[in-house]
Chain A
Amino acid sequence: MNTVKKIVAVAGAAAMLASVAACGSGSDTAGGDTKEISFQTWNLKNEKYTPYFEGLIKEYEKDHPDVKIKWMDQPSDGYEDKLSTQAASGELPDIVDGGASILYSLAKAGALLNLSKEVPDAEGDYYEGAWGGATMTGNGIEEGAYGFPWYVNDGPTYWNKSLMQQCGLDPNHVPTTWDEWFAAGKTITQNCDGIYLGTTMGYNAEDLVTAGATFMNKDHSKYTFNDEAGVEQLEKFVESYKEGAIPPEALDASWSQAGDLFQRGNLVAMAGSAYSAAGFKQNAPELYKNLTVGPRITNDGRSASVSYELLGISSQSKHPDEAIDFARFVTNAKNQVEFAKQASVFPSAKGGLEDAYYQDIDDSTLEGQALKITLEQVKTGYSSRPAEFTDANGYKYFQQQIALAMQGKQTAKEALDKTVQFANERLSK
């Protein structure tokens, strides 16, 4: 009896190992004269976007029979861990999708091509702000763009109308400047209990920059957000926190947490994305009916929260020309507009925003209104968070120091001074 069990167990294990080994060796890439380009996106393979990418690849391969595109898509979580391993083991895909700070980290290690140098004519294909968002400089990095601008994201401020009414605000008149914003916070705390204005509190570069602070000097050698305007703005947030207009959970809340609070009806306002409207409709249908949108809060009317998704090209690529060509194909105006329409994001290629789709947005729905406001922001706005202000090199520390200021453990000025010193040290390394 025991022997039989043993044989079965051993045979089973052996068969499994054999099948696994066979499986592994079978997946080698096809040789020949076709050039294989690996194209890695981040969490875009699903029922909604897969047809788009498959169509895109098919179209390109038809025109370029000698090129084969291998589309890889990484799951939502752990993207930076995956990228680190790929970079450390020399297996970075030819084309990598990432935000500015991810590409900055790769570029600084020499893992990406300087596209301004490789294809100087590409600059003219994209909006100036977008190309600027991909351009990196200073501190051991050769100045240039290290990624082709891809989709652009920004969003309006969502307002809960019934909470506004209940707490003494006029839903037809949403705040748009910081003075109005802080005044709204005061009104809410006077009239309502357990209701907060929002989770915005200086955790993002744009919260300071839109009030007049300068985040970094021109040649990107020093951070400067501890200037007078920056400190004054943070002091106002601290004041607002003390009054009770900001929920304590915001101190360690990530963006998704803010969404939870808003959808549960604890927040009057939330800075979201254009596509958030569809999410509210799906997850909190009653709240959705009570929402209105306004622009992001700024003093100068220019959004500073525009973010650019980029496509970098690996410096180890065996076929850099083909990789560049395909990345430019993905990011051309026509293909970007098509993707942007589906995802409620925006194109960065020149001419994309003039597409008929954007001329005639149906603003009878919340989604349409959100899209319309964001469109204006994207046209005039910019990204205020420098690529080098990565999580490791200051962003995380920034949030931690601000939290301590909120809790009254240090002054706003101390928090910003400490962060600037920390980030400057990291910058020079």
Chain B
Amino acid sequence: MTHAAQAATRPEAVKASGRPEPTNDRRGGKKNHRGALTVIAPYLFVLPAFLVVFVFVVLAALNTFRLAFTDSTLLRPGKFVGIANFVELFHDEYFLTALLNSTLYVVCVVPFMVILPLILANLVKGNGRIMGFFRTAFYMPVVMSAVVVGMIWTNLLDSQGLINSILKTLHIVKESIPFLTDRWLLLFSAMFVTIWLGLGYYMVIYLTALANIDESLYEAAALDGAGPVRQFVSVTMPGVRSTMILIMMLSTIAAFRVFNEVYVLTNGTAGPGGMDMTMSMLIKQEGTGIQARTGYASAISLVVLVIVGTMLIIQQIIQKKTEE
């Protein structure tokens, strides 16, 4: 393909990205039998993935739905108890704490997850060897095991840790900052680790989106006298708009369900007094182990499903509104 041809198709491409009209090729002179095939074709395309998801997730989840209204434990099938589990939930101090913490997590983490990896992706795009090296390096935290991540960050953050030692030597603080033992600081520390881990992950997703933005748009903007920042705002951001929305959704789900970061920073205790409990930790605490209260844990799962679903719908609505 020549560069001219590329440039010719691109401006529309950028405009069209985001919400192209779905097509259905029944228009145009097609033979009849092919028409029938075309009608079922989408189903054939989606069927394999649907089957796997249906068998391994939907079936299992339906079971969760049923259990949520019983008092089952793992090894003892329970009886139907109506909404008793949900009533208990709203009297469970840990559930309310978890709800607050997980919601805060979404509010604080998602904006960073949408913006920072995009900036990082912009800095490492390109085909050179050096950039390839940085891309690989930045992905490293993602592939590290949670245990290693926890070990490293607890060593950095605890009251005798590296960060406190530096702050004390520089006389910035007198007493150690309780990163891991104060309820709120611990939550913020966990958020920091989440962002640290997510940078490389979302950077990779942004990179593919950046590849779809035509260079000529940058050149045109540069000719208009736009500096790097203006180019970022007027070319990059619109070009990756649909990816930003995607990452907003992905990181919302991930943030509300945060587990590993809090778990490893607190050695699984959910913080002093369990005040840093999150929804997934509560599900793990109640729903696993030999004495698991599967009924109760299923009820929590259901609440998580409803809340995250609502969050996503709200995001969709806002997105539609801003497009108009």
Q: Number of A-B pairs whose CB atoms are under 8 Å?
A: 94
Q: How far is the CB of A197 from chain B (nearest CB, A)?
A: 15
In the complex, whether B271 has a CB less than 8 A from a CB of chain A is yes
A248 contact set on B, CB distance < 8 A: 159, 178, 180-181, 272
Inter-chain contact B158/A249, CB cutoff 8 Å: yes
Q: How far is the CB of B54 from chain A (nearest CB, A)?
A: 20
Residue B273 contacts which of A105, A261, A401 (CB distance < 8 angstroms)? A401
A247 contact set on B, CB distance < 8 A: 159-160
Q: How far is the CB of B75 from chain A (nearest CB, A)?
A: 3
Given contacts A249-B181, A252-B181, contact A105 B269 (CB under 8 A): no
Give 20 new A-B contacts, CB below 8 A, not counting A247-B159, A396-B285, A400-B270.
A81-B289, A84-B289, A84-B292, A87-B75, A87-B290, A108-B291, A109-B74, A248-B181, A249-B159, A249-B181, A251-B272, A252-B269, A264-B160, A266-B160, A391-B289, A392-B291, A393-B291, A396-B269, A400-B273, A400-B274
0/1 string, B277-304, CB within 8 A of A gives 1 = 0000000011011111100000000000
B155 contact set on A, CB distance < 8 A: 260
A396 contact set on B, CB distance < 8 A: 269, 274, 285
Inter-chain contact B289/A109, CB cutoff 8 Å: no
Chain A contact-residue range equals 35 or more
Residue A251 contacts which of B181, B286, B289 (CB distance < 8 angstroms)? B181
Q: Which residues of B contact A (CB under 8 A)?
A: 73-76, 154-155, 158-160, 178, 180-181, 266-275, 285-286, 288-293
Q: How far is the CB of A80 from chain B (nearest CB, A)?
A: 5
In the complex, whether A299 has a CB less than 8 A from a CB of chain B is no
A81 contact set on B, CB distance < 8 A: 288-289
In the complex, whether A102 has a CB less than 8 A from a CB of chain B is yes
State the 3 A-B residue pairs at the shortest beta-carbon distance, nearest first.
A109-B75, A105-B290, A404-B273
Chain B residue nearest in CB terms to A203: B269
Inter-chain contact A407/B272, CB cutoff 8 Å: yes
Inter-chain contact A109/B76, CB cutoff 8 Å: yes
Given contacts A248-B178, A249-B181, A252-B181, contact A399 B291 (CB under 8 A): no
0/1 string, A95-129, CB within 8 A of B gives 1 = 00000001001101111000000000000000000
Inter-chain contact A84/B180, CB cutoff 8 Å: no
Inter-chain contact A403/B74, CB cutoff 8 Å: no
Residue B269 contacts which of A254, A406, A409 (CB distance < 8 angstroms)? A254
Interface-central residue, B268, B269, B272, B291, by most chain A CB under 10 Å: B291
Chain B residue nearest in CB terms to A110: B75
Chain A, 194-213, CB within 8 A of any chain B CB: 194
Inter-chain contact B288/A254, CB cutoff 8 Å: no
Chain A residue nearest in CB terms to B276: A252
Residue B289 contacts which of A80, A108, A399 (CB distance < 8 angstroms)? A80
B274 contact set on A, CB distance < 8 A: 396, 400, 403
CA distance A194 to B168 in the complex (A): 12
Inter-chain contact B160/A194, CB cutoff 8 Å: yes
Inter-chain contact A84/B181, CB cutoff 8 Å: no
Residue A106 contacts which of B73, B76, B290, B293 (CB distance < 8 angstroms)? B290
In the complex, whether A44 has a CB less than 8 A from a CB of chain B is no
CA distance A211 to B237 in the complex (A): 65
A109 contact set on B, CB distance < 8 A: 73-76, 290
CA distance A392 to B286 in the complex (A): 7
CA distance A14 to B99 in the complex (A): 46
Inter-chain contact B272/A84, CB cutoff 8 Å: no
B267 contact set on A, CB distance < 8 A: 252-254, 256-257
Q: How far is the CB of A393 from chain B (nearest CB, A)?
A: 7
In the complex, whether A88 has a CB less than 8 A from a CB of chain B is yes
Inter-chain contact A403/B288, CB cutoff 8 Å: no
Would you list 9 pairs from A and B whose C-beta atoms are within 8 A, ordered by A residue?
A80-B289, A81-B289, A84-B288, A87-B75, A248-B181, A249-B181, A400-B272, A403-B273, A404-B273
